[in-house]
Amino acid sequence: MAKFNIKLDARKIEKEIKDVMTKRIKEIDILKKEGDKNMKILNKNSEIMLNAFLEKYNKTHNYTIEGEVDEFPKHFQFSIKKIMEDLEYNGYITSYDVYISGTWTVTLTPEAIEYYEKKGSRVELFEELMDNEKELLKKLIEVENNEKDITEYLKNILENDKNNIKRGVIKSLTDNGLLKVFWADDTVYYANLTQSGRTYYEREEKHNKNIEKLASRTYNIGTVTASGGNVFIGDVTNSQLNINNSISNIEKEIEDKCESEDEKAELKELLDEVKEIAENIQESGNIARRKKFFEKMSEHLAKHGWFYGAVIDIIGQAAINRMGGM
């Protein structure tokens, strides 16, 4: 295997750790935004109004629609223009007019038509959906896959829904763009899964695999030796960052690999500081500068290069947990 030498000092070691963690945090952040597509989530009133617009659009498939002010909820009476302004600001309508006669006209954008489909594609839903919502969605997917009628299935569960629990779950799936429901006579008249709802579990599995792949990524550091205050990285060997290493494993390694009690005490003291750094990351998301810590750590790199990799591992796990609780 080819050899190479890279001369580092304590500051560069600190920078390398920060660079690794910054990269990992950015990669996780990208994964969390992969289904977002700059999605602009509307407030409740704006969604209610958008729903009214979409009902009209579904009948005519015309982007320009019109109606009467009385079609909106009563509490909209003094805020209709403000809500329309919010829809325009967020790019879901291009223009609107409210007339003295009590009528209105708006022109929808393609983004408005795709609003709930995109909302259902957000990766945040993998964490936001409650267990009973996921359970019903899974059942609806099974019903559809078995070529049965999900409308009838929803009607049946609502008949025994004395506390309106199932009704609330159906509403949540609808509000999150996973299910389309048309109501009549206080029950489901017609229902079907959206593409986002149909592919929810497939997308969740893919997303989780990407997160796991990122979390288990290996960084080969190499054999570490030192001369004076400088550190040298030699052959690329088995100094791997294993995300599954625990504090207890590292403490055991300290016991096994350190020859003197003073050496053990010094590394354990450093490990305690690593724990503190990890806790700060999980609480605040920040990696504070600790010049003296890295200077002390560099003193042990000649003999205990494995400790360097273990430190990055612990800090990395803390960052992963901070980003998503993995």
Which position has the token pair 């790019």?
A: 91
CATH domain 44-113 topology: Arc Repressor Mutant, subunit A (1.10.10)
CATH domain 120-201 topology: Arc Repressor Mutant, subunit A (1.10.10)
Beta bridge partner(s), residue 191:
181
Q: Are 266 and 300 in contact (CB under 8 A)?
A: yes
Domain boundaries, the chain: 6-33+211-324, 44-113, 120-201
DSSP strands (E only) in 120-166 = none
Residue 195 CA: distances (Å) to CA of 23, 35, 119, 202: 33, 13, 11, 11
Helix, strand, or coil here: 234?
coil
Residue 27 C-alpha from the chain's centroid: 11
Which position has the token pair 């408005």?
A: 112
- Reference 93, options 76, 120, 79, 111; nearest CA is 111
Is 44-113's fold the same as 120-201's?
Answer: yes
Q: Are 87 and 93 in contact (CB under 8 A)?
A: yes
Q: What is the largest CA-CA distance in the chain?
A: 91
Task: Say what the pLDDT of residue 186 is.
Answer: 87
Which position has the token pair 């998301």?
A: 285
DSSP strands (E only) in the chain = 6-8, 64-68, 93-98, 103-108, 179-184, 187-193, 224-227, 230-233
Q: Are 193 and 141 in contact (CB under 8 A)?
A: yes
Residue 151 CA: distances (Å) to CA of 86, 160, 226: 33, 15, 71
Task: Say what the pLDDT of residue 141 is.
Answer: 95
| pLDDT tens, N- to C-terminus, the chain (326 residues) | 444 343 444 555 556 655 655 665 555 555 555 544 556 789 999 999 999 999 999 889 999 999 999 999 999 988 999 999 999 999 999 999 999 999 999 999 999 999 988 888 888 888 889 999 999 999 999 999 999 999 999 999 998 888 889 999 999 999 999 999 988 888 999 999 999 999 999 998 988 887 676 555 544 444 444 443 333 333 333 333 333 345 777 788 888 877 788 888 888 888 888 777 777 766 665 666 666 776 666 666 656 667 777 776 677 666 666 555 54
Residue-wise pLDDT tens digits, 146-203: 999 999 999 999 988 888 899 999 999 999 999 999 888 889 999 999 999 999 999 9
Burial of 295 (0-12, 13-18, 19+ CB in 10 A): middle
Task: Say what the pLDDT of residue 245 is.
Answer: 47
pTM for the structure as a whole: 0.52
